[in-house]
Amino acid sequence: MCAAMLTLEAITLGLSTPVMIALTDVGTGAALGIGLGLAAVCLVLAGLLRAEWAYLAGWIVQAAAIALGFVVPAMFFLGIVFGLLWGTADLLGRRIDRERAEAYAAHAAGSE
């Protein structure tokens, strides 16, 4: 679920790039670096979520998306929405993993 959230967020962050170029005083190079850079980070992290540190990095990306609201005000709202979705996906994913591990352990103990 977290990988799906990061992928959808990458699309949103990528689309914030032309908004930054057209509607703000941010230079084209900076807008490309910020918008497409954050989008690329999301996509890379989506593939690295087998490592525990990638989840912490995902939280940092959520903070960066919210902070992007200082440049593109709509990103305050979108960043908060994606932060809530990320938190929900992280929480539920961990719960599912824990319950799955408990079920496997119970099954293994029962077959011995």
Find out whether 65 and 83 touch, Cβ atoms under 8 Å. Answer: yes
**DSSP string covering 4-23:** HHHHHHHHHHHHHHHHHHHH
Q: What is the pLDDT of residue 110?
A: 77
> What pLDDT does residue 65 have?
96
- CA-nearest of 12, 17, 13 to 31 is 17
Q: Which pLDDT belongs to residue 112?
A: 67
Helix/strand/coil (H, E, C) string of 19-30? HHHHHCCCCHHH
Cβ atoms of 13 and 39 within 8 Å: the answer is: yes
Query: What integer pLDDT is reported at residue 29 of this predicted model?
Result: 95
Torsion from C-alpha of 63, 60, 31, 3, nearest 10 degrees: -110
Q: Which residues of the chain have pLDDT under 50?
A: none
CA distance 44 to 1: 15
* pTM of the model as a whole: 0.85
Q: What local confidence, expressed as pLDDT, does residue 36 receive?
A: 96
pLDDT at 96: 92
Residue extents of the structural domains in the chain? 2-110
State which amino acid sits at residue 22: A
